[in-house]
């Protein structure tokens, strides 16, 4: 449970009235007891009082004191961080379509399991959440602009073609460029930067990039990136450099590792290679952006990961004033106190 803060904390001093009222109530009870002794027929009084359980007469005042305490608490305007349905959110799916995804250590293959799980993920997401798709191998391409159309997204997923190379950093960077089109993130220029082996061609101008003050990692609640890959980067931008770009913008990058750590040997077009899951890199990306890493060693695991992500990404944490809720609780206490007093004693308090 998140800590409670107050917009008007100085009003909390009014809660000191509660102990004073309790003391006043106890004093009145003692005074009433003394005055009752002066009745001429004490036996009749005792008989009348015995018709009702003694504890009943204390319940309405106690509930009324609770109502007063809740109203004073609400007057200080409490604020809590609570989960609310997201009314404006975009999810970017960055999906690995490199040749290593043809490995069959996840049945029927890594890529087919990933496609099936991604489509199942779309059915679990709230319909108001926009989704975009980036496919990356040796480079990254925008397979589908963010859209509400689940049919267009499924078509894009079904149309994946495996290619050589794995540029995990490019997948993150292109996702960010899609989310922040005004930031001047130029992937084609970045591939010639520090994240790759080559330098920018002579005479080619350096791209204009909008300078923005970094924000706290994970603080941007309107968008998130989910990257599904085996994590073995072979080319392109350094994924940790791309992760820093995301962290500076407050965007979380949830990473999903597909495959097994031991991996398997695959071959096509006359060559073969051992493809293993690079968990360490994926964990570092998630940690850098205040997100989480998920391991998907089987198709069933992969589906569970996406179900978990869909439930989490449909809501967002937001600081919200809860004075109205506390006031409703106070009103409920007062109504119950008055109702019990009328039912038991025929009068309000």
The pTM of the whole model exceeds 0.75: no
Answer whether residue 229 shows pLDDT above 50.
Answer: yes
Give me the pLDDT at residue 171, please: 95
Q: How many domains does the chain have?
A: 2
- Between 64-68, 78-82, 149-153, 224-228, the lowest mean confidence (pLDDT) is in 78-82
Same domain, 93 and 70: no
Q: What is the pLDDT of residues 115-141, one digit of tens each?
A: 988 898 888 887 888 999 999 998 999
What's the mean pLDDT when you consider all of the chain? 80
| CATH assignment at residue 224 | 3.40.50.410
Same domain, 178 and 206: yes
Same domain, 274 and 324: no
Same domain, 75 and 152: no
Same domain, 92 and 78: no
Which CA distances in Å does 196 have to 97, 200, 209, 238, 295?
20, 10, 19, 7, 28
Same domain, 118 and 54: no
Same domain, 33 and 127: no
Same domain, 271 and 125: yes
Q: Tell me the pLDDT band of 5, cut-offs 50, 70 and 90.
A: confident
Same domain, 218 and 282: yes
36: containing domain? 5-82+320-345
95 has which bridge partners? 135, 228
Q: What is the DSSP string of 68-126?
A: HHHHHHHHT-EEEEEEEE-SS-EEEEEEE-BGGGG-SSSSS-HHHHHHHHHHHHHHHS-
Task: Provide mean pLDDT across the span 160-182.
Answer: 92
Is there a contact between 310 and 127 (Cβ–Cβ < 8 Å)? no
- What residues have CB less than 8 Å from 320, skipping those under 6 apart? 79, 80, 81, 82, 84
Q: CA 6, 8, 12, 17: dihedral to nearest 10 degrees?
A: -150
Q: What is the pLDDT of residues 11-36, one digit of tens each?
A: 888 888 888 888 888 888 777 766 65
Q: What is the DSSP string of 215-248?
A: --TT---SEEEEEEE-----SSS-HHHHHHHHHH
- What residues have CB less than 8 Å from 224, skipping those under 6 apart? 89, 91, 92, 251, 252, 253, 254, 291, 313
Task: Identify the residue with better confidence: 35 or 40.
Answer: 35
Same domain, 284 and 338: no
Give me the pLDDT at residue 193, please: 43
Q: What is the pLDDT of residues 286-333, one digit of tens each?
A: 999 999 998 877 667 777 776 677 666 655 566 788 888 889 999 999
Give me the pLDDT at residue 198, please: 38
- CA-angle at 182, arms to 178 and 183, nearest 5°: 85
Q: Tell me the pLDDT band of 264, cut-offs 50, 70 and 90.
A: low
Q: Tell me the pLDDT band of 173, cut-offs 50, 70 and 90.
A: very high
Answer whether residue 255 shows pLDDT above 70.
Answer: yes
- Between 153-167, 175-189, 191-205, 272-286, the lowest mean confidence (pLDDT) is in 191-205
Same domain, 70 and 96: no
Structure tokens at 254: 């949830």
d(CA 181, CA 63): 56
Same domain, 189 and 246: yes
Q: Tell me the pLDDT band of 80, cut-offs 50, 70 and 90.
A: confident
Q: Tell me the pLDDT band of 81, cut-offs 50, 70 and 90.
A: confident
Is there a contact between 69 and 305 (Cβ–Cβ < 8 Å)? no
Sole residue written with tokens 């504890």: 55
């Amino acid at each position: 449970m998140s800590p409670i803060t107050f917009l008007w904390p100085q009003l909390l001093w009014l809660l000191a009235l509660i102990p004073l009222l309790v003391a006043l109530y106890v004093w009145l009870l003692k005074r009433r007891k003394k005055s009752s002794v002066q009745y001429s027929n004490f036996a009749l009084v005792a008989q009348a009082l015995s018709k009702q359980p003694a504890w009943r007469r204390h319940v309405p005042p106690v509930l009324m004191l609770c109502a007063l305490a809740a109203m004073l608490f609400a007057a200080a305007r409490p604020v809590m961080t609570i989960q609310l349905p997201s009314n404006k959110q975009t999810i970017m799916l960055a999906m690995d379509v490199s040749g290593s995804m043809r490995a069959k250590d996840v049945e029927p293959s890594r890529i087919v399991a990933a496609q099936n799980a991604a489509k199942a993920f779309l059915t679990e997401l709230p319909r108001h959440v926009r989704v975009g798709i980036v496919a990356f191998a040796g480079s990254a391409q925008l397979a589908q602009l963010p859209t509400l159309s689940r049919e267009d997204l499924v078509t894009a997923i079904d149309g994946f073609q495996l290619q050589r190379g794995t540029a995990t950093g490019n997948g993150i960077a292109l996702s960010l460029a899609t989310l922040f089109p005004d930031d001047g993130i130029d992937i084609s220029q970045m591939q010639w930067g520090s994240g790759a082996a080559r330098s920018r061609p002579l005479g080619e101008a350096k791209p204009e990039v909008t300078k923005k003050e970094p924000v706290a990692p994970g603080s941007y609640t309107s968008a998130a990136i989910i990257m599904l890959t085996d994590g073995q980067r072979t080319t392109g931008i350094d994924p940790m450099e791309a992760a820093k770009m995301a962290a500076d913008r407050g965007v979380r990058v949830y990473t999903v590792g597909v495959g097994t750590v031991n991996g398997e040997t695959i071959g096509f077009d006359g060559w073969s290679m051992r493809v293993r899951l690079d968990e360490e890199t994926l964990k570092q990306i998630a940690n850098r952006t205040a997100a989480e890493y998920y391991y998907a060693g089987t198709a069933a695991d992969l589906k569970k990961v996406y179900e978990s992500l869909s439930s989490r990404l449909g809501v967002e944490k937001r600081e919200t004033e809860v004075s109205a809720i506390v006031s409703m609780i106070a009103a409920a206490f007062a109504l119950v106190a008055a109702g019990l007093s009328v039912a038991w004693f025929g009068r309000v308090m």
